[in-house]
């Protein structure tokens, strides 16, 4: 069985995250990725998590509390486009995870937007440690999703291949426009 998109994202991130690392969940949603990251960084690590919906913070906190992980996570009720301002210059971020689209079970009108997603991604690229990775799960099937996927593709194509590896992973023979995954790895300290 081949890896599903979310599993592939977790595996690629798990490969580089070590105990004590600083990592970011750029879209808390219902907190699955936050929990995964909090487990990986251990008691000495730190997870910074962003969401614009209060509900997402509530759900994520509940999930973290249930697993005794809340102490290693900072939940930020703000857009991920403020990510750069939350990380100081001397901090290196090992991994950043994005899971785009809308929060399942909530208002489908609150979706991630190309402009802010790209702003966050650029900031994530800047604060990422060499050898660090970024995962982005994209949902081209919902309204606005295809435009966001196209904007991301266009941006990723501009990244210098000496500074970043950028790959795409996903099923090509599933019905109903399935989600797919972008993975980035930083190769050099400076990019653009
Ligand atoms: N589509 C996924 C879940 C995505 S959740 C699935 O089906 O499993 C995406 C989250 O991004 C939502 O909780 C939403 O509130 C959040 N979001 C939207 N705009 C954002 C922004 N600018 N910064 C941070 N989070 C944002």
Over residues 94-141, the pLDDT tens digits come to: 999 999 999 888 877 889 999 999 999 999 999 999 999 999 999 999
Residue 86 Cβ contacting ligand 1 at under 6 Å:
no
Residue 79 is predicted with a pLDDT of 98
Q: Whose CA is nearest to atom 19 of ligand 1?
A: 112
Residue nearest ligand 1's atom 8 by CA? 104
Write down the mean pLDDT value for the chain: 95
Instruction: Quote the DSSP letter at residue 102.
Output: B
Backbone angles phi, psi at 87, to 5 degrees: -115, 130
Region 31-60 average pLDDT: 97
Cα(173) to centroid(ligand 1), Å: 26
CA of 185 to the centre of ligand 1 (A): 22
Q: Which of 9, 10, 27 to mutate to test the pocket of ligand 1 (most atoms within 8 A of CB)?
A: 27
pLDDT cut 90: percent of the chain above it: 88
Q: What is the mean pLDDT of residues 81-102?
A: 95
Q: How far is the CA of 98 from the centre of ligand 1 (A)?
A: 8
Residue nearest atom 1 of ligand 1, based on CA coordinates: 101
Is the confidence at residue 45, as pLDDT, over 90? yes
| Residue pLDDT, tens place only, 168-183 | 999 999 999 999 999 9
**Predicted local distance difference test score (pLDDT) of residue 191:** 52
Q: How far apart are CA 178 and CA 165, in angstroms?
A: 23
Token pair for 169: 């992973």
C-alpha 169/C-alpha 46 separation (Å) is 28
**Ligand 1 centroid vs 113 CA: distance in angstroms?**
9
Give this prediction's pTM. Answer: 0.96
Q: Phi/psi at 120 (nearest 5 deg)?
A: -65, -40
pLDDT band at 192 (very low <50, low <70, confident <90, very high): very low
What does the alpha-carbon distance between residue 146 and residue 139 come to, in Å, rounded to a whole number? 7
């Amino acid at each position: 069985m081949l890896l599903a998109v979310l599993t592939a994202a977790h595996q690629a991130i798990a490969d580089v995250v070590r105990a004590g690392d600083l990592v970011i969940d750029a879209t808390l949603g219902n907190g699955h990725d936050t929990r995964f990251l909090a487990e990986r960084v251990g008691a000495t690590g730190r997870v910074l998590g962003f969401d614009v919906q209060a509900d997402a913070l509530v759900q994520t906190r509940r999930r973290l509390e249930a697993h005794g992980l809340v102490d290693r996570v900072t939940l930020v009720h703000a857009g991920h486009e403020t990510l750069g301002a939350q990380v100081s210059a001397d901090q290196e971020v090992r991994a950043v995870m994005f899971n785009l689209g809308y929060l399942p079970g909530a208002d489908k009108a609150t979706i991630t937007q190309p402009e802010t997603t790209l702003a966050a991604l650029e900031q994530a690229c800047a604060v990422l440690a060499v050898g660090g990775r970024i995962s982005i799960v994209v949902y081209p099937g919902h309204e606005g999703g295809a435009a966001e996927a196209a904007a991301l593709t266009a941006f990723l194509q501009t990244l210098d291949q000496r500074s970043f590896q950028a790959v795409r992973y996903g099923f090509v023979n599933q019905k109903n426009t399935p989600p797919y995954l972008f993975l980035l790895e930083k190769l050099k300290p400076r990019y653009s």
